[in-house]
């Protein structure tokens, strides 16, 4: 009986801890669609980011942009950045912008 209770407790703790390590949908989308240019930390420090002169997300120009501005750039593209309208839903784009804000430390 004690072994069963211990097993149930361990399984419960594993379930709780695994959910706390799950990434947000925005983080998952960012990793698959954005990270190759913008880098995992949003610095733009990747070969593609350097060649396209990607601004770091913590640069003053990007930090002062509103969420609506970032949504518009992601949806419609800008410069060498492709548009993600039709590739991502509006909710997915909003989730990516929320993740970008976490990379800025906001």
Q: Is it the case that residue 11 has pLDDT exceeding 90?
A: no
Burial 57-87 (b: 16+ CB within 10 A, else e): beeeebeebeeeebbebbeeeeeeeeebeee
pTM score, two decimals? 0.77
State how many domains the chain has: 1
Domain limits at 77?
Answer: 23-104
pLDDT in tens, 92-106: 999 999 999 999 986
Confirm whether 18 is domain-assigned.
no
Confirm whether 34 is domain-assigned.
yes
Distance CA 59, CA 46 (A): 16
Q: Is it the case that residue 4 has pLDDT exceeding 60?
A: no
90 pLDDT band (50/70/90 cuts)? very high
Are 41 and 34 a contacting pair, CB within 8 Å?
Answer: no
pLDDT in tens, 25-77: 999 999 999 999 999 999 999 999 999 999 999 999 999 999 999 999 999 99
CATH number at residue 31: 1.10.760.10
Nearest residue to 100 (alpha-carbon basis) of 46, 31, 49: 31
């Amino acid at each position: 009986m004690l072994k069963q209770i211990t097993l149930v407790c361990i399984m419960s703790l594993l379930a709780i801890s695994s959910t706390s390590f799950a990434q947000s949908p925005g983080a998952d989308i960012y990793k698959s669609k954005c990270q190759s240019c913008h880098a995992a930390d949003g610095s733009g420090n990747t070969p593609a980011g350097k060649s396209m002169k990607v601004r770091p997300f913590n640069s003053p120009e990007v930090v002062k942009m509103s969420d609506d501005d970032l949504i518009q750039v992601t949806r419609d593209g800008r410069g060498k950045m492709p548009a993600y309208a039709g590739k991502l839903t509006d909710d997915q784009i909003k989730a990516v912008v929320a993740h970008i804000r976490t990379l800025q430390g906001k």
